[in-house]
Amino acid sequence: MATTNKLLILEDGAQITGLLMPQAQSRGYELVTYRDATGVLVMARQLQADAMLLDSQLRGAGSVIALKAFRRNVNTAALPVVAVLGRTGPKAEDLKAAGAQAVVSEPYDARKLFDAVDSNLQAELDFTAGPAQALAEPAQVEATEAANVIDTPPEPAFDRLTKLSAQLLMAPVTLATFVTRTRQFFKSAMGLAEPWATERGTPLTHSFCQWVVSSKEPLVVDDAREHAVLKSNLAIRDLGVIAYAGVPMTGKGGLAIGSFCAIDTKPRKWTEDDLKTLHDLAVIAETYSHPDPARHRNAVEAASRILRRYGPRLRDAEREQLLDIIEEQTLRLVPR
């Protein structure tokens, strides 16, 4: 049986879909039309689309926004996107800068559009371009610098959290990582091998955390060697990162500036409790780089959730550490 490729078409109307429909089956494509630029990333993931045709004349800057979102998210970065240029809307160079692999100009027909998609299905994409673009944006750089954590000494508060994470998740490696536009810095690391433990960081060629920051979403990977984007990341070869679960740590303006993550050196199915615990520990970690009353209240609630989640499974030392965190965060809420 011939393989059918799923082609997601993002357009306000149905002009492109109508043009392609008569040839879709013979060209080996199933067409799915979608009209919401803000939700297309989720749709592409749910659909498991093989490629996308993008109408550049979407309302406002919808096409550029959609492209940037695709390139910043590790789950869609490998999806080829062909933009269809119209009389209005962004220019070809703007669409390519935002992440389109190809731009088809008017006049166009079904054959021209299908040929453009076909030629890019097997394209080798640069998976560092999207995150790098997001990490270099002025607001992102400002938020990272405002945290004032890059290249600072180890702190017991952060180390307590990565140690707790390693114990509760039974993970070989846990990190509190902050990401700049050129590298990632380990504010705290448990179980990390040398020379990385001493260097306390890596270039972005060895970073999964950059995708957590660029997409502002959790990243959960059972086996990175089978991931379309991450399988080429040098962290697999040099750091032994096979399974990864990371959640954003936010800074100024709510922007993600780092990832609180756990790593396994073998394939692993991360549980719902694992991810909830990482999120709660990230909430606590944020108070050390950006203290404020709201964050301290959230940290008290996060530590309390961990206590309830693990209950009698907690060892005495773990329970004491969580109670210490609650007391510490509560005291910060009391005016002096």
Domain locations in the chain?
A: 5-125, 132-333
Q: Residue 319 has what pLDDT?
A: 96
Q: Mean pLDDT in the chain?
A: 91
Query: Topology of 132-333 in CATH?
Result: Beta-Lactamase (3.30.450)
Give the residue-averaged pLDDT of 290-313. 95
Poorest-pLDDT segment among 39-43, 50-54, 144-148, 271-275:
39-43
Segments of the chain assigned E as strands? 5-10, 29-34, 51-55, 81-84, 102-104, 173-179, 183-190, 201-203, 219-221, 243-250, 256-264
Band (222; pLDDT cuts 50, 70, 90): very high
**Dihedral sign computed on CA atoms, order 145, 178, 247, 161:** negative
Helix locations, 190-267, DSSP H: 196-199, 209-215, 234-239
Beta bridge partners of residue 248, listed in sequence order = 259
Give the residue-averaged pLDDT of 313-320. 95
Give the strand pairing for 5-10 and 29-34.
parallel
pTM of the model as a whole: 0.89
Strand, coil or helix: 282: helix
Q: Residue 1 has what pLDDT?
A: 46
In angstroms, rounded to a whole number, what is the distance separating the alpha carbons of residues 67 and 130?
10
Contact 272, 295 (CB under 8 A): no
Poorest-pLDDT segment among 88-97, 121-130, 237-246, 268-277:
121-130
Q: How far is CA 252 from the centre of its chain?
A: 18
Mind listing the pLDDT tens digit for each residue in 81-120? 999 988 777 889 989 888 898 999 877 889 999 999 998 8
Give the residue-averaged pLDDT of 309-332. 95
CATH of domain 5-125: 3.40.50.2300
